[in-house]
Amino acid sequence: MRLISIAIITIFTIACSTAQDRRVGGRCEGCEALFEYGDRQLDATDTLPGFEAAKEKIKLSGTVYKSDGKTPAENVIIYVYQTDQKGIYPKKGNETGWGKRHGYIRGWMKTDATGKYSFYTFRPASYPNTTVAQHIHITVKEPGLIPYYIDDYNFADDPNLNEGHSSNHRGGNGLVKLKKSDNGLLTASRDIILGKHIPGY
């Protein structure tokens, strides 16, 4: 019964969003996955599955700003998903919706009054047998607009990262530099500017 309720809430949320919110960002396959948090109460911080068992634990954080690049943006929903340490999007077999494609290593946040967000995760691997750079996908939804994707999180020390890996920098540059804290946690900061290089914004 609870699963049915969550499904109804999710469908209702998507329908309301697409009916009322302005369309920006161009084509975005899978951006509707942002709504798949069900009845969870979103906070400014989330922990992705697999964090506790991982060797390379990471905390990514930052501030989301409005399009002026100065004013903190409150109540922005952030959706992230990534591969595991084998480079795949792992499934448990009971996934629904976009979880069938994105796997279960994903998380949701909502910025606080100061625009802050953070999430705990681990370093993803490249896709198997490829030289694709390690990355974490990110989609954002601000009030009044449909969800749109911005530049992936990439890691500055990734040997597979090509120069000019992104020239548009949707939402700002996603390249992060990891630093090891005293407790061994790898940390990095990335600020996001809403609407930056987003078509139709």
1 has a pLDDT exceeding 90? no
86 has a pLDDT exceeding 60? yes
Would you list the domain boundaries of the chain?
2-193
Percentage of the chain beyond pLDDT 70 is 88
| Averaged pLDDT of the chain | 90
pLDDT at 155: 96
Q: How far apart are CA 149 and CA 167, in angstroms?
A: 15
pLDDT at 14: 45
Listed range (14-28, 71-85, 110-124) with the worst mean pLDDT = 14-28
Listed range (77-81, 107-111, 156-160) with the worst mean pLDDT = 156-160
CATH class of the structural domain 2-193: mainly beta
pLDDT tens digit string along 107-139? 999 999 999 999 999 999 999 999 999 999 999
pLDDT at 7: 44
